Structure 1
Amino acid sequence: MSADPRTELIRFENVTKRFGDNTVLDDLCFSVEPGRHVTLIGPSGSGKTTILRLLMTLEKPDAGTIEVDGGRLFPADERQRREVRKKIGMVFQQFNLFPNMSVLRNVTEAPVRVLGLGKDEAEQRGRELLDLVGLADKCDAGPSQLSGGQQQRVAIARALAMRPRVLLLDEVTSALDPELVAGVLDLLRDIARSTDITMLCVTHEMSFARDISDEVFMFDSGKVIESGPPAKIFTDPENERTRDFLGAVL
């Protein structure tokens, strides 16, 4: 998992995170190179979502350093953290759309407020992204007028509107009805294939992980216990814990 530091986009070095007496991440070290699509798999409670929350600065580590694109998230002051955070977009399990805003404004609000884009430029970009996710005709609709799958597509467009270097995906289909899952996963596959955005994905959809990943990290008890290309991890894992986990979910 070590990489030439000149080519690392994300770097966790000796990161520990505790919640009370529970150590969720235990002296964690890993790195991700630019443009790579990395999927984190493992049992619930193994620390996968905590990694994404640390990158979003929704949590702070108890020890260690986290860097993104040469800038430090932790330890760092708030100004440094905000600058690095601009390079990261996240799509959550829940859609978290602003209920009082139109679909288009949900997509344009952060680029205007955070990136300082002009309203016209932001709206043009927002309309292009809503077209990309198949919702060009929903710009003026409210979130409550959309299905769950459509709301998640808006959330994906909103994350992309920030022009992130890194896109974080946290179980993005877990809140969807089963018949809506395939459409959202197909959209993410298209984004993975057609852009150079670095993706860090937490999912229990193993076929999706196999399709989009350049590398898969298997987590257990706050550590990466095995990593490699999906063909290796899913067909010939070396670690017994990986074999047991995949045997239970595949």
Structure 2
Amino acid sequence: MSQAATEAALTSGKDGQFIHFDKVSKRFGDNVVLDDLSFAVGAGERVTLIGPSGSGKTTILRMLMTLMKPDTGTVRVGDDYLFHEERNGSLVDASEAHIRKVRQRITMVFQSFNLFPNMRVLRNVTEAPVHVLGLSKEEAEERALGLLAMVGLDHKIDSYPSQLSGGQQQRVAIARALAMRPDVLLLDEVTSALDPELAAGVLDVLRDVAKTTDVTMLCVTHAMKFARDISHRVLMFCEGKIIEAAPPEQMFDSPDHERTRSFLQSVLDEA
């Protein structure tokens, strides 16, 4: 792929530039995690981030969740900057109120489920819509019941997380994320803690989400078949940079970069 084609693949989106990283850098001491990174994701687009551990993929998700701030550069979601505000024609550090407002548009499903252990399944899903979005208990429960039915767990609404399998807990986590009606859904190695059979069930649920919603998705995964199935684009990360960006058929069948080829071969050998 030519440099021009790679740059086009980095900025192409299903509907404009909904998420936009512009010259973002992040370092921890001498370790450069993101290196002057620029890319965009369109509204409703599903993008998978692949690459070796430590290449910057999860840092992207953590920034969008405002769990980590960039050292330099800007992150924009829709018309709003995430860590900055425009005042009198200049960009200044954002207030906590501004950050909370933008962050409400984004939810994340983590590797480790992160359910509230003292709450039953139904309340795990309704808690944030009630306390963050201001829904009534009745509205939140109606929404939650529909989502729990979608992930096949409407019969478990009175169970505690400890009474569920890992796969069931992750499906509750997906329902909880979707209950916020997010514009952006982030998926961070959501099956890495599950055995293959449970992982397959969770990935099937996410395939259904991809098919039946227009939520923008950023996914970090080593499940390459899943990435091929759900992605509009795949971005290959290495040492804090995107070294290749392409539709899944091209990325997985005929990657251009030698580093991409060696990474995909190693992942397939482990599968």
In the superposition, the TM-score normalised over structure 1's length comes to: 0.97
1:68 corresponds to 2:68 = no
RMSD: 1.1
| Deviant stretches of 4+, over 6 Å | none
Q: Write the distance in 1 (CA, Å) between the matches of 2:51 and 2:12.
A: 23
Q: Write the distance in 2 (CA, Å) between the matches of 1:86 and 1:208.
A: 27
1:203 corresponds to 2:212 = no
Q: Is contact 1:72-1:80 (8 Å) kept? A: no
Q: Write the distance in 1 (CA, Å) between the matches of 2:29 and 2:210.
A: 37
Would you say how many aligned residue pairs link Structure 1 and Structure 2? 249
Aligned equivalent of 1:87: 105
Amino acid at match of 2:114: N
Aligned equivalent of 1:26: 35
Q: Write the distance in 1 (CA, Å) between the matches of 2:118 and 2:158.
A: 12
Q: Is contact 2:11-2:17 (8 Å) kept? A: no
Identical aligned pairs, as a percentage? 68
1:166 corresponds to 2:184 = yes
Aligned equivalent of 1:37: 46
Shift of 1:3: 4.6
Could you report, residue by residue, the CA deviation over 1:58-116 in whole angstroms, capped at 9, with x for unpaired residues? 11111110011211112322111111100001000001000111100000000111111
Gaps of at least 5 residues in structure 1 are: none
Q: Is contact 1:43-1:245 (8 Å) kept? A: yes
Paired residues for 1:1-250 under 5 Å: 1-3=10-12, 7-75=16-84, 76-250=94-268
Q: Write the distance in 2 (CA, Å) between the matches of 1:178 and 1:19.
A: 34
Amino acid at match of 1:73: L
Q: Write the distance in 2 (CA, Å) between the matches of 1:63 and 1:104.
A: 41
Amino acid at match of 2:60: I
Gaps of at least 5 residues in structure 2 are: 1-9, 85-93
Secondary structure, aligned partner of 1:7: coil
Q: Write the distance in 2 (CA, Å) between the matches of 1:120 and 1:136.
A: 16
Q: Write the distance in 2 (CA, Å) between the matches of 1:176 and 1:15.
A: 33
